[in-house]
Amino acid sequence: MDISVIVPLYNEAESLPELHAWIQRVMEANGFSYEIIFVNDGSTDNSWAVIEQLSAQNPAVKGIKFRRNYGKSPALYCGFRKAQGDVIITMDADLQDSPDEIPELRRMIVEDGYDLVSGYKQKRYDPLSKTIPTKLFNATARKVSGIKNLHDFNCGLKAYRRDVVKNIEVYGEMHRYIPYLAKNAGFNKIGEKVVHHQARKYGKTKFGLDRFVNGYLDLLSLWFLSRFGLKPMHVFGLMGSLMFLLGFVAVVVVGASKLYALANGIHARLVTDSPYFYISLTMMILGTQLFVAGFLGDLISRSSEQRNNYQIEKEI
Ligand code: UDP
Ligand code: MG
């Protein structure tokens, strides 16, 4: 099969027939063999009935129905598992992404050898309250992930080589960072294509402004996991040692100045009057706690099923 199109959706019944007809038109015009996997993320409208109807008309239409709303990442994860195409395309259900981009996205994977091609909504039809924070968000994501050529990490329209989607695990709200996940899994050829974007035709956006707060927190934890996920002691141990060292220096200052005062018959002030006493106390406690966190982290990562989960490309 040439292409799997995965469409995560939450209450998008009105858009589905139009989206389906458009995808079908593009696929038939190009002679691709394809499947469309609609992942109904616990919609409360009649989206599922619409999907069943489409599937009765067109055998290429498949569906997954969640019992409740889990989020876009879980929907993508299940779509990725089910997909059988050589090239996987993800797109939003709200008609903001154009199926006309599919042939070129596929060409970039098949002929230019990209592992992942992300859409770039250069000209966006979204409210300002979204486009400005998005710029900041993308700048941070570029910096942290080291994928310098991407302008639009969170674009719903993306194309993947099949290996990529079978070897990454999208969860939580990590759909914003799929290129970063792919890069961490060793897929380095990540490209971008400027895509046409439209205003939402039906319904309204499913994400509020909290997307930016959550997005930053997720980016932080992804960065941490990719650097220290399998060796937490390396970060906690280093911080703990530095703290402990500072505390130790402070203790030496306290002790030495007391001894010096005593030896020279100067009036020796109480140890607890010295600021260094408190510094050393705090630093040593913090240092010990960081060390304990490091040991606990190592225990957890040691018993994790992921500990020996490597990306092996070939073996002979
Ligand atoms: N979506 C989903 N589950 C959710 C929220 C959103 O499957 O819990 C789908 C939604 O139906 C749409 C896509 O994810 O197909 C992108 O959502 P939306 O268009 O609301 O996001 P925006 O374009 O505002 O970033
Ligand atoms: Mg949208």
Please check whether residue 308 lies inside any domain of the structure.
Answer: no
Q: Please give the C-alpha separations between residue 96 and each of 17, 100, 170, in angstroms, as whole numbers.
A: 14, 12, 22
Tokens of 122: 């250069």
Does ligand 1 lie within 6 Å of residue 74's CB atom?
no
* pLDDT tens by residue, 228-281: 988 999 999 999 999 999 999 999 999 999 999 999 988 888 888 889 999 999
Q: Do 212 and 244 belong together in one domain?
A: no
In which band, very low, low, confident or very high, does the pLDDT at 91 lie, cut at 50, 70 and 90?
very high
**CA-CA distance, 120 to 196, in Å (whole number)?**
8
pLDDT tens digits along 174-222: 999 999 999 999 999 999 999 999 888 898 888 888 888 898 999 999 9
Same domain, 176 and 289: no
Does any domain span residue 87?
Answer: yes
Q: Is the CB of 71 under 6 A from ligand 1?
A: yes
In a domain, 313, yes or no: no
Provide the domain limits for residue 185: 3-228
Domain termination site, one of 206, 228, 250: 228
Q: pLDDT tens digits, residue range 53-64?
A: 999 999 999 999
- Over residues 82-88, the mean pLDDT reads 97
Same domain, 118 and 206: yes
CA of 17 relative to ligand 2 center, distance in Å: 17
With cut-offs at 50, 70 and 90, classify the pLDDT of residue 31. Answer: very high
109-162 tens-digit pLDDT: 999 999 999 999 988 888 887 888 889 999 999 999 999 999 999 999 999 999
Query: 133 with 263, same domain?
Result: no
pLDDT, the chain, mean: 94
* Domain co-membership, 146 together with 239: no
Question: What pTM value is reported for the model?
Answer: 0.89
175 CB within 6 A, ligand 1:
no
State yes or no: pLDDT of 20 exceeds 90.
yes
Ligand 1 atom nearest to 39, measured from its CA: 7
Query: CB 111: neighbour CB atoms within 10 A?
Result: 8
Cβ neighbours for 89, distance < 8 A, ≥ 6 positions apart: 3, 4, 5, 6, 102, 105, 106, 157, 158, 159, 160
CA–centroid distance, 210 to ligand 1, in Å, is 14
Q: Which atom number of ligand 1 is nearest to the Cα of residue 203?
A: 20
Q: What is the pLDDT of residue 36?
A: 98
Q: Are residues 204 and 269 in the same domain?
A: no
Q: Give the residue, out of 73, 121, 207, 214, with the most ligand 1 atoms within 8 A of its beta carbon, to mutate for a pocket test.
A: 207
Query: Which tokens go with 10?
Result: 């939450």
What confidence score (pLDDT) does residue 238 get? 96
> Percentage of the chain surpassing pLDDT 70?
100
CATH (domain of 167): 3.90.550.10
Ligand with an atom nearest the CA of residue 92: 1
Task: Tell me, yes or no, whether 218 and 239 share the same domain.
Answer: no
Going by C-alpha positions, the residue among 12, 168, 191 that lies closest to residue 92 is 12
Residue nearest to atom 19 of ligand 1 (CA): 205
Residues 172 and 241 in one domain: no
* 152 C-beta closer than 6 A to ligand 1: no
Q: Determine whether the shortest distance from the Cβ of 79 to ligand 1 is under 6 A.
A: no
C-alpha span between 60 and 115 (Å, rounded) = 25
> Torsion over CA of 52, 53, 57 and 61, rounded to 10 degrees?
-30
pLDDT at residue 72, as a whole number = 96
What local confidence, expressed as pLDDT, does residue 211 receive? Answer: 85
Query: For residues 89 and 101, what is the distance between their CA atoms, to the nearest angstrom?
Result: 10
> Is 310 among the domain residues?
no
Residues 178 and 194 in one domain: yes
The pLDDT of residue 294 is 96
Report the C-alpha gap between 194 and 113 in whole angstroms. Answer: 18
Does residue 72 lie within any of the structural domains? yes
Largest CA distance in the chain: 99
Ligand nearest to the CA of 153: 1
- Of the three residues 168, 196, 228, the one that is the final residue of a domain is 228
Residue 291 in this model has a pLDDT that exceeds 90: yes
Q: Is the CB of 92 under 6 A from ligand 1?
A: yes
Does 257 share its domain with 208? no
Ligand 1 site, residue 156, Cβ cutoff 6 A? yes
Protein residue with its CA nearest to atom 21 in ligand 1: 205
Q: Is residue 311 part of a domain?
A: no
